[in-house]
A and B are shown apart, each in its own frame.
Chain A
Amino acid sequence: MKVWQCIVCGWVYDEDKGWPADGIAPGTRWEDIPESWACPDCGVSKADFEMEVIL
């Protein structure tokens, strides 16, 4: 499992925890998140911005 970070606002996505608020189950890998999903904090889209592995 990996942890990713939004390069625009610093929001962190932890694959272990997922993001249930947007229906993303714990354990969901970054590559399995839909392209239409946007950063919950700053709203930049997955397709437009790289998230970076931080762990």
Chain B
Amino acid sequence: MAPILIVGSGLAAYTLAKEFRQRDATTPLMLITADDGAFYSKPNLSNALSTGKTAAALAAASAEKMAADFNLKVLPNTRVTALDTGTQRVRLNNISADNDEVHYHKLILALGADPIAHGLSGDAANEVLAVNDLNDYARFRSVLGAQVVAGRRRVTVLGGGLIGCEFANDLTNAGYAVSVIHLGDWPLERLLPAEAGKRLADSFAALGVNWHFGRSAQRVHHANDGLHVMLDNGEVIATDVVLSAIGLRPRTQLAQAASIPVNRGIVVDRYLETGAANVFALGDCAEVDGANLPYVQPLMIQARALAATLAGEKTAVVYPPMPVMVKTPAHPVAVLPPKPGATGSWQMDCSDTGICALHRDASGRLQGFALTGTETSRRLALVKELVLV
């Protein structure tokens, strides 16, 4: 019998395999991945420097161990280059004697997302790094290490969103001198009201982070003292390493080339089914019922629902209120934005140690919240209030 075939080996892929195996120990399950198939937790990439963790230390289990633990066949270092949803086959780039294509019974796309191209010009543009997987982290750590040996510790982060803020905090804690270039007027401006974002920025500044708000980087050049990043206002930042964290784009190309409908992500319904029969998608590559949510909690919920469906118990994705947690120990953030179009306004309660911003409608009903610093301890109580309204 052709296997259930999972493409990808990130948290979404392996969580699905694990959840499916809890329900079905024997149906053939195969996983194809472009990298080495080691299991790691992606959230750990953005706080591993300050804890001194190598890429090898972050790899919690090898592909061989995952294969043995969950009765999987894993094909590492292999790319799927094309899908044929009519004959239910995928084509592989890794053309060995016995398998340049694989038949599937069900196909699950857990492809993840790519960093958005930074678009910088200049003779050092190809030295700009992004950290989107364990291999990227290994490279980042080795580049930083080589600079430190030369006495250089300046890092410029492009983008002050969730990943940019987490890396900026981690780099600062690891002893680097950090600048952040951010197009918005405060960090996380699409998630946080101004007061909360400014408090986060101030707490970073107190640690020595240099913010450049309302600016974008345009060019990066080699200079005698390292690298020069030129901003859109002509200002030049001297630095040693540049890290781009300007956002992610769901990987949709493979689906699109197979005429599977895509929008921002691969379009799936609440059962994670794509527009093609027996093809599903989940995690950062998927747009579930209109929403692409590139966070851990939604993908866990998706993996559990899909595991049940694949095991014969058709199960829809149902999300509880899911606050986004930003891992910035300098000033933690928990935010659950109000739904688009929610009528209401932010009510601010600010103390020396944090901000509690509650979004309420005219009758006082809670619609969302943004908590910073010590106020993040109110998260669970507020989630309960949201469930009740």
Contact = CB atoms under 8 A, between A and B. Distances in A.
- Tell me what chain A mostly uses at the interface: helix, strand, loop, or mixed: loop
Interface string A1-26: 00001011111000000000000000
Q: What interface size band does chain A fall in?
A: 10 to 19
Given A7-B325, A38-B60, A43-B39, A48 B51 contact: yes
Nearest to B58: A43
Contact of A8 (B60, B296, B377, B379): B296
Contacts of B379: 7, 52
Residue in A43, A47, A48 with the greatest tally of chain B CB atoms within 10 Å: A43
Interface residues of B, number: 20
A44 B41 contact: yes
A10 B15 CA distance: 14
A42 B296 contact: yes
A47 B44 CA distance: 11
Contacts of A39: 41
A10 B302 CA distance: 13
B300 A9 contact: yes
Interface string B35-52: 000011101100100010
A5 B379 CA distance: 12
Given A8-B296, A10-B300, A43-B40, 4 more contacts: A8-B325, A42-B41, A42-B300, A43-B11
Interface of B: 11, 15, 39-41, 43-44, 47, 51, 60, 296-297, 300, 322, 325, 327, 334, 377, 379-380
Question: Across chains A and B, which 10 residue pairs bring their CB atoms closest together, nearest first?
Answer: A43-B41, A9-B296, A7-B325, A9-B300, A8-B296, A10-B297, A42-B296, A44-B43, A8-B43, A9-B297
